[in-house]
């Protein structure tokens, strides 16, 4: 059973949960944007010919699903439309959504979206990403959630270069009631992280969340800096970091995908945090990340509230993105 059929079965048989409601609300702009693009495509619908598929490919690229995904999907649809003998706009639209969902499901078939924690020693999550993507806010929200779950948390202000970054993390620490290891602006980030790891071990902290600089324009220095930070962590905790999480701003669409490719070249990323999904119509970028980058999305920012940072659920995401476009068994043909 493909993801498309699983979604139909799961969400027609059971009522919405608070989690699915968050995905529903957080992806409203993306869902509306995709629906409008699909409706505009079918407004000029004449027949399912090569011009139609050219327009469809262009529409998918504009919807930020990625060039490779758009081409692969369009090629698959040519065969599927013939196979199902779909001629009416509604039938063709359903085939498009079905193939898009299943392609997304197939790309993530072996994907691990869970966050990994250490046993018997501090867990370390290292956050990387360009300035403005939402690293510090993500750390603050995750710290709040971890504390609410009964875990002790420590923050490390490893972004010592961006103006106000240390103060911003310290403010989150005050709000969350979580200690922050910090130094003066311009200090060596690795030394800050070293002090934080030492404190985490000494205080037997459950989770250490490490902020880092995001100066992607100087990739060589960034790579050296991140490597140095990781070496410092591994020296004290050989099994850490358990996660290296790349934070991407969903509102930047294809730029986020470009950033991800660049960061993947400079450091070993274990997962992606996609922020600000509620503020954009570009949620389709998750499909591009899955199909072109093959790095799992592990956290999704679906709103401004503390609990709107959600552990990524691929099925709930697909439901939120395509709800209303997926015909259920009770829908008329």
- Cα four-point dihedral sign 168, 174, 180, 184: positive
Residue 29, annotated ligand binder? no
212 is in an annotated binding site: yes
Q: Annotated binding residue at 136? A: yes
185-233 pLDDT, tens digit per residue, is 889 999 999 999 999 999 999 999 999 987 655 667 777 888 899 999 9
Domain range list for the chain: 3-111, 123-313
Confirm whether pTM is higher than 0.85: yes
Higher pLDDT, 300 or 162: 300
Higher pLDDT pick, 142 / 305:
142
- The pLDDT tens digits for 221-249 are 777 888 899 999 999 999 999 999 999 99
Report cis status (omega within 30 of 0) of the bond before 19.
no
Sheet containing 271-275: give its strands across. Answer: 180-181, 153-157, 207-211, 123-128, 243-249, 271-275, 297-301, 309-311
Question: Is residue 131 pLDDT above 50, yes or no?
Answer: yes
**Banded model confidence at residue 263, pLDDT cuts 50, 70, 90:** confident
- Read off the DSSP letter of residue 295: -
| 203 labelled binding-site residue | no
Rounded to an integer, what distance in angstroms lies between the CA atom of residue 47 and that of residue 60? 18
- 276 annotated as a binding-site residue: yes
DSSP H or E run through 51: helix 50-62
User: Is residue 159 a known part of a binding site?
Assistant: no
pLDDT > 90 in the chain, percent: 38
123-313 CATH choice from 1.10.150.20, 3.40.50.300, 3.10.20.30, 3.30.390.50: 3.40.50.300
Residue whose structure tokens are 């995401």: 317
CA distance 318 to 120: 36
Report the pLDDT value the prediction gives residue 116, as an integer from 0 to 100.
96
Is 134 annotated to bind ligand? yes
**For 96-125, what is each residue's pLDDT tens digit?**
888 888 877 777 778 889 999 999 999 999
Q: Return the CATH fold of 3-111.
A: 1.20.120
Angle between helices 314-322 and 28-43 (to 10 degrees): 50
How many other C-beta atoms lie within 10 A of the C-beta of residue 61?
18
């Amino acid at each position: 059973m493909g993801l498309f059929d699983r979604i139909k079965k799961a969400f027609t048989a059971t009522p919405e949960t608070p989690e699915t409601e968050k995905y529903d609300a957080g992806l409203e702009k993306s869902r509306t944007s995709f629906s409008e693009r699909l409706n505009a495509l079918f407004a000029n619908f004449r027949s399912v010919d090569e011009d139609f598929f050219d327009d469809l490919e262009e529409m998918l690229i504009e919807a930020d699903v990625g060039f490779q995904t758009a081409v692969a999907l369009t090629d698959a649809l040519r065969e599927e439309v013939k196979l199902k003998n779909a001629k009416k706009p509604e039938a063709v639209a359903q085939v498009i959504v079905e193939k898009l969902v299943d392609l997304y499901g197939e790309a993530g078939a072996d994907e691990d979206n869970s966050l990994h924690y250490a046993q018997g020693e501090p867990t370390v999550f290292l956050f990387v990403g360009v300035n403005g993507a939402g690293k510090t806010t993500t750390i603050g929200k995750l710290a709040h959630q971890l504390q609410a779950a009964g875990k002790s948390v420590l923050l490390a202000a490893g972004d010592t270069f961006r103006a106000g970054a240390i103060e911003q993390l310290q403010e989150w620490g005050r709000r969350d009631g979580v200690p922050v290891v910090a130094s003066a602006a311009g200090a060596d980030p690795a030394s800050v992280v070293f002090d934080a790891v030492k404190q985490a071990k000494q205080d037997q902290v459950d989770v250490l969340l490490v902020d880092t600089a995001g100066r992607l324009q100087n990739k060589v220095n960034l790579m050296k800096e991140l490597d140095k930070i990781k070496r410092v962590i591994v020296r004290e905790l050989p099994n850490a970091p358990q996660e290296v999480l790349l934070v991407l701003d969903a509102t930047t669409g294809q730029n986020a995908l470009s950033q991800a490719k660049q960061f993947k070249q400079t450091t070993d990323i274990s997962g992606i945090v996609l922020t600000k999904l509620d503020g954009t119509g570009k949620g389709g970028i998750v499909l591009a990340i899955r199909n072109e980058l093959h790095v799992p999305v592990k956290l999704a920012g679906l709103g401004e509230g503390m609990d709107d940072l959600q552990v990524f659920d691929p099925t709930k995401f697909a439901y939120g993105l395509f709800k209303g476009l997926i015909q259920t068994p009770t829908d008329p043909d």
